[in-house]
Amino acid sequence: MLIGVPKEIKTNEKRVALTPGGVDALRANGHQVIVETNAGVGSGFSNDAYIAAGATIIDTAAEVYAKADMIMKVKEPIAPEYSLIRKGQTLFTYFHFAASRELTEAMVNAGATCIAYETVQKADGSLPLLIPMSEVAGRMATQEGAKYLEHPMGGRGILLGGVPGTRPAEVVVLGGGVVGTNAAKMAAGLGASVTLFDNNLYRLRYLNDVMPANVVTQMSTNANIREAVKTADLVVGGVLIVGAKAPHLITRDMLSTMKPGSVIVDVSVDQGGCVETCKPTTHENPTYVVDGVVHYGVANMPGAVPYTSTIALTNATLPYAIQLANHGWKDACKASKELELGINVVDGKIVYEAVAEAFGMEYTPMDQCW
């Protein structure tokens, strides 16, 4: 199969869909890979690195789309890319269709097979192609929190781990999933005193077993959170209720009980945020202050560390990309339920019910489309 990797053109997107190592693995499986010139530069991968791995460098996106049987991307296609996508072509990328009617209609009209990273799902319900970005965002949350706690950045001037003879910072983490456990581990590793909240007792039991001694677990109740934020230096929000808006666990009235210069990093801001006063911000202008509390609400945190994010993403997508390339999308998806769940649009039909529902568009069950 001929696999094409265009350069991402969404503002500030520096990630790329495949590392040179990914190209090498696809080549080893007998496939050809074409990469748009400078597609990997933002992630630290030169054209020469791709050539050394066996890829061919192509001058324009138009040519990549015109030649490739399967396009691998990071972000959903945007308007200038719509007309380049061909009927029968396979697209493997993040789509987040339910967030955009325009994108959904464009892909229906294009007639391509759209396999969305975010809906590839394992039998246990986990989303293997979302996990790496949550790992990155969770680890970054602590790093960003530590940065904005510094006085010149607007924070109260406390070092997360303290030094001998001083108290370490208190870190409250809301949600003990992928984001939360990664944030908690980083904060604990730096020597902070961490409280990790979840509303799932089984999850708390597990976390209590595996977390270091400076992490305590607590049941997520309004009373417990209200008490914990009073002494918190850093709060990390990482709750998720699948398919729903995040619940506001920290309400506006709680802010006035928090210490001036404390910091909230609400990673779940992309689902509405678990802090009432959190709103989406950008890497250019990441923070704002409400009631003396610094709020950080960047909705695409992994974009700040494209080198790590690109490698982490390729590690997760590559096994699926190899299946798709080796067998073609139809046979690969018939053989793998988790990959089948990734199919959102095929041959002009919406086959993912939640997407059709979101826009009142026609839903066609996948078993009518093989």
Ligand X SMILES: NC(=O)c1ccc[n+]([C@@H]2O[C@H](COP(=O)([O-])OP(=O)(O)OC[C@H]3O[C@@H](n4cnc5c(N)ncnc54)[C@H](O)[C@@H]3O)[C@@H](O)[C@H]2O)c1
> In residues, how long is the chain?
370
241 near ligand X (CB under 6 A): yes
Give 87 or 283: the residue with its C-beta nearer to ligand X: 283
129 near ligand X (CB under 6 A): no
Angle between helix axes 178-189 and 131-148 (nearest 10 degrees) is: 40
Stretch that binds ligand X, among 117-125, 164-172, 238-246, 362-370 (CB under 6 A): 238-246
Cβ-based neighbour number of residue 2 at 10 Å: 14
163 within 8 A of 157, measured Cβ to Cβ:
no
Q: Which residues pair with 70 in a beta bridge?
A: 3, 90
4 near ligand X (CB under 6 A): no
**327 is a catalytic site residue:** no
Instruction: Please identify which residue in 233, 270, 338, 340 interacts with ligand X, judged by CB under 6 A.
Output: 270
User: What does the alpha-carbon distance between residue 370 and residue 361 come to, in Å, rounded to a whole number?
Assistant: 20
Stretch that binds ligand X, among 33-41, 58-66, 154-162, 299-307 (CB under 6 A): 299-307
User: What does the alpha-carbon distance between residue 250 and residue 289 come to, in Å, rounded to a whole number?
Assistant: 15
Stretch that binds ligand X, among 1-9, 64-72, 149-157, 295-303 (CB under 6 A): 295-303
Instruction: Report the phi/psi class of residue 175: left, alpha or beta, with left for phi > 0 and alpha for psi in -120 to 50.
Output: left
300 near ligand X (CB under 6 A): yes
73 within 8 A of 36, measured Cβ to Cβ:
no
Which residue among 24, 96, 291, 327 is the active-site one?
96
269 near ligand X (CB under 6 A): yes
| Least distance CB 338 / ligand X (angstroms) | 17
Residue whose C-beta lies closest to ligand X: 177
264 near ligand X (CB under 6 A): no
356 near ligand X (CB under 6 A): no
Instruction: Please identify which residue in 299, 304, 305, 313 interacts with ligand X, judged by CB under 6 A.
Output: 299
Which residue among 69, 266, 270, 295 is the active-site one?
270
104 within 8 A of 97, measured Cβ to Cβ:
yes
74 near ligand X (CB under 6 A): no
179 within 8 A of 137, measured Cβ to Cβ:
yes
Site for ligand X in 150-189 (CB under 6 A): 174-180
Q: Which residues pair with 32 in a beta bridge?
A: 2
The H or E element that residue 70 is part of is strand 70-72
Q: How many residues bind ligand X (CB under 6 A)?
A: 31
Give 40 or 176: the residue with its C-beta nearer to ligand X: 176
| Three-class secondary structure assignment of 278-308 | CCCECCCCCEEEECCEEEECECCHHHHCHHH
Instruction: Please identify which residue in 239, 305, 318, 343 interacts with ligand X, judged by CB under 6 A.
Output: 239
Instruction: Report the phi/psi class of residue 20: left, alpha or beta, with left for phi > 0 and alpha for psi in -120 to 50.
Output: alpha
Q: In this structure, which amino acid lies at residue 345?
A: V
**270 is a catalytic site residue:** yes
Instruction: Please identify which residue in 8, 198, 338, 340 interacts with ligand X, judged by CB under 6 A.
Output: 198
Give 140 or 192: the residue with its C-beta nearer to ligand X: 140
Stretch that binds ligand X, among 19-27, 59-67, 226-234, 236-244 (CB under 6 A): 236-244
326 near ligand X (CB under 6 A): no
DSSP, res 363: B
273 near ligand X (CB under 6 A): no
Binding site for ligand X (CB under 6 A): 133-134, 137, 174-180, 197-200, 203, 220, 238-241, 247, 249, 267-271, 299-302
Catalogue the active-site residues: 96, 270
